[in-house]
Amino acid sequence: SEERSLNFIEEIVEEDIREGKHGGRVLTRFPPEPNGYLHIGHAKSICLNFGLANKYGGKTNLRFDDTNPVKEDTEYVDSIKADVKWLGFDWAEELYASDYFDKLYEFAVELIKKGLAYVDDSTAEEIAAQKGTPTEPGVGNAYRNRSVEENLQLFAEMKDGKYADGEKVLRAKVDLASPNMHLRDPLMYRIRHAHHHRTGDKWCIYPMYDFAHGQSDAIEEITHSVCTLEFIPHRALYDWFIEKLDLFDSHQYEFARLNMTYTVMSKRKLLQLVDEGHVEDWDDPRMPTISGMRRRGYPAAAIREFCERIGVAKRENMIDLSLLEFCVREQLNKSAWRRMAVLDPIKLVITDYPEDKTEIFSVENNPEAEGGDGKRDIPFSREVWIEREDFMEVPPKKFFRLGVGLMVRLKGAYIVKCHDFVKDADGNVTEVHCTHIPESQSGNDTSGINVKGTIHWVSVPHAKTAEVRQYERLFKVEDPSNEDGDFKEYLNPDSLQIIETAYIEPDLMNAEAGTAIQFMRKGYFTLDKHSTADKLVFNRTVTLKDGWGF
Ligand code: ATP
Ligand code: MG
Ligand code: MG
């Protein structure tokens, strides 16, 4: 893509390199919690973190932020790794916050010894009440004055499983009067008698995000820890722990999370859509997940380009879904081979063409590519399927398709002229009758006739069939999370339209999974994962133009 100015994080990194900070070294990390599949918002973070490392000769760690045993699972770990790879990025090290549990425990003990952490027996409600409000300072309780010895003993007992969930917590002793609520003696550890997907039953106390994240960064010697804006108020605490523990001075920088229209982007909400059956699975092609987009046929390069184009903002904003679709079209237009498929068929009979004749026409795979990217054979015969919408009984002016008396070119074949049509008892048109101009064969046209319209078609006796799935926006409104009531009330009931039997040109039987194809005039399509040799299933990746459909 073209030259662009530096984003504000790149400016910071360049400044740090100029000043020789961390020896000019750049180490970033992408820190997903393995509690769901990655979505396009994560792609933004991935492109930013790996992009910084690539640009400045650094590296990026993939660190699973797996400190919450209840919601996490190895299925998610595997999908996250597959998605990051598919997006085109290689991490330096695959790491897990849970690998630091011993180290984090030692850090906590160190803070207790320094008089900077204490065990609190209060309930969550009591702690919240004692914290005060943004305008009123919090108040300390008796536990805050526990001795170092008592705290050490109680914390060890917490670890050894002596207490039930919620009975005690470990808190940092920071400042109950701080204007920053996150500094009012935040929790460091809570008791959770839960099985962890990696550490099993070894632990029954788990560190909070704020105590795990910065310390993990420091352990790995991350130079630039990039996260989203909601973590701005956490930064002071991030710095406090690093300072009090005298660790590597990792720094946190914040950018605006990606929000996109007509979808939701929280894993909790996406999980609801999956669990309640509103979509097939995490990789449903309507989902904003990386796996859904891959299945739908979005190229990884289009997602990277999208992340590049939206830039790195310091303020929350909402990106139009159509920008992503634009990037997808731009990529596919260069690479996708053209094929003909009729989605809503009506029969066209060429009455002056011999009944038992077949001609084979050779047509370019991609006129946009240099040299046409080779050719494929298309059989032609007296009867062809065309789209119902390409014929009108009473065509309006400037209808450059078919109606009695009108001419059109059949792509790669002949110009035909309509002279009649047939209707059934209900008044539906069932056949369109034409004659052809034998001298008008594509590539060999000596007819001297110019027609404005070209339509796609598939020879009836040679046609193969396929199921075609067309997707529209998953939600009816731009920002379903900010509407009244439940976001699921705003699901688009027509987000999936299935065409059971479309007619496709025979060469499409050779279509390969993961390869994009343009169905001429209809959009970009790709084989779905449910496609089999006996029953092809195509997903519509995106329409050809913006503003079609819903
Ligand atoms: P969610 O709200 O979807 O659960 P999360 O932030 O809890 O998201 P994590 O797995 O913790 O999910 O995210 C991993 C990284 O991706 C974090 O650094 C997070 O800031 C970043 N990230 C998550 N969502 C977005 C988004 N919409 N835009 C940009 N970055 C994001
Ligand atoms: Mg998170
Ligand atoms: Mg989350």
Number of Cα atoms under 13 Å in the Cβ half of residue 96? 19
Provide the percentage of residues in the chain whose pLDDT is more than 90: 94
Specify the CATH number for the domain of residue 21: 3.40.50.620
Catalytic choice (198, 257, 347, 464): 257
Residue ID of nearest Cα to ligand 1 atom 22: 42
Catalytic choice (21, 25, 33, 244): 33
User: Domains in the chain: how many in total?
Assistant: 3
Co-location of 521 and 401 in the same domain: no
User: Average pLDDT over the chain, rounded to whole?
Assistant: 96
Q: Which of 416, 437, 456 is the last residue of a domain?
A: 456
Read off the tokens for 407.
């001419």
Co-location of 328 and 380 in the same domain: no
**Which pLDDT belongs to residue 4?**
82
Co-location of 66 and 135 in the same domain: yes
Does the pLDDT of residue 518 top 50, yes or no?
A: yes
Q: Tokens 């009123």 — which residue?
A: 136
Specify the CATH number for the domain of residue 419: 2.40.240.10
Co-location of 89 and 136 in the same domain: yes
Co-location of 386 and 307 in the same domain: no
Q: From CA 133, how far away is CA 184, in angstroms rounded? A: 10
Cβ–Cβ under 8 Å, residues 488 and 275 = no
What's the pLDDT band for 70 if we cut at 50, 70, 90?
confident
Mean of pLDDT values over 360-379: 90
Query: Does ligand 1 come within 6 angstroms of the Cβ of 258?
Result: yes
Q: What is the DSSP letter of 509?
A: G
Residue 57 falls inside a structural domain: yes
Residue 547 falls inside a structural domain: no
Strand residue runs (E) in 112-167:
117-120
Quick count: other Cβ atoms within 10 Å of Cβ 121? 14
Co-location of 519 and 409 in the same domain: no
Residue ID of nearest Cα to ligand 1 atom 3: 266
Residue 501 falls inside a structural domain: yes
Question: Strand 458-459 and strand 383-387: pairing?
Answer: antiparallel
pLDDT in tens, 191-214: 999 999 999 999 999 999 999 999
pLDDT in tens, 276-300: 999 999 999 999 999 999 999 999 9
Q: From CA 474, how far away is CA 535, in angstroms rounded? A: 26
Residue 520 falls inside a structural domain: yes
What pTM value is reported for the model?
Answer: 0.94
Co-location of 452 and 481 in the same domain: no
pLDDT in tens, 437-472: 999 999 999 999 999 999 999 999 999 999 999 999
409 in active site: no
Mean of pLDDT values over 19-37: 96
Query: What are the phi and psi torsion angles at 424 (to 5°)?
Result: -90, -175
Give the range of the structural domain holding residue 510, as residue numbers without chain letter. Answer: 267-337+466-542
**Which of 9, 45, 306 is the best mutation target for the ligand 1 pocket, counting ligand atoms within 8 Å of the beta carbon and taking the most?**
45
Residues with CB under 5 A from ligand 2 (ion): 33
Does the pLDDT of residue 549 top 50, yes or no?
A: no
Does the pLDDT of residue 2 top 80, yes or no?
A: no
What's the pLDDT band for 550 if we cut at 50, 70, 90?
very low
Ligand nearest to the CA of 266: 1
Residue 523 falls inside a structural domain: yes
pLDDT in tens, 143-176: 999 999 999 999 999 999 999 999 999 999 999 9
Residue 1 falls inside a structural domain: no
Q: Which of 209, 229, 255 is the last residue of a domain?
A: 255
ipTM over 0.85: yes
Catalytic choice (29, 159, 235, 267): 267
**Which pLDDT belongs to residue 72?**
77
Mean of pLDDT values over 403-420: 97
Co-location of 393 and 533 in the same domain: no
Does the pLDDT of residue 312 top 50, yes or no?
A: yes
Q: Which of 199, 220, 255 is the last residue of a domain?
A: 255
Residue 261 falls inside a structural domain: no
Ligand 3 mean position, distance from CA 86 (Å): 22
Co-location of 84 and 148 in the same domain: yes
Ligand 1 mean position, distance from CA 31 (Å): 8
267 in active site: yes
**Which pLDDT belongs to residue 200?**
95
Provide the percentage of residues in the chain whose pLDDT is more than 70: 99
Mean of pLDDT values over 138-142: 95
Query: Does ligand 1 come within 6 angstroms of the Cβ of 299?
Result: no
Residue 548 falls inside a structural domain: no
Q: What is the DSSP letter of 461?
A: T
Co-location of 330 and 350 in the same domain: no
Does the pLDDT of residue 311 top 60, yes or no?
A: yes
What's the pLDDT band for 368 if we cut at 50, 70, 90?
confident
Co-location of 18 and 133 in the same domain: yes
33 in active site: yes
Co-location of 26 and 63 in the same domain: yes
What's the pLDDT band for 436 if we cut at 50, 70, 90?
very high
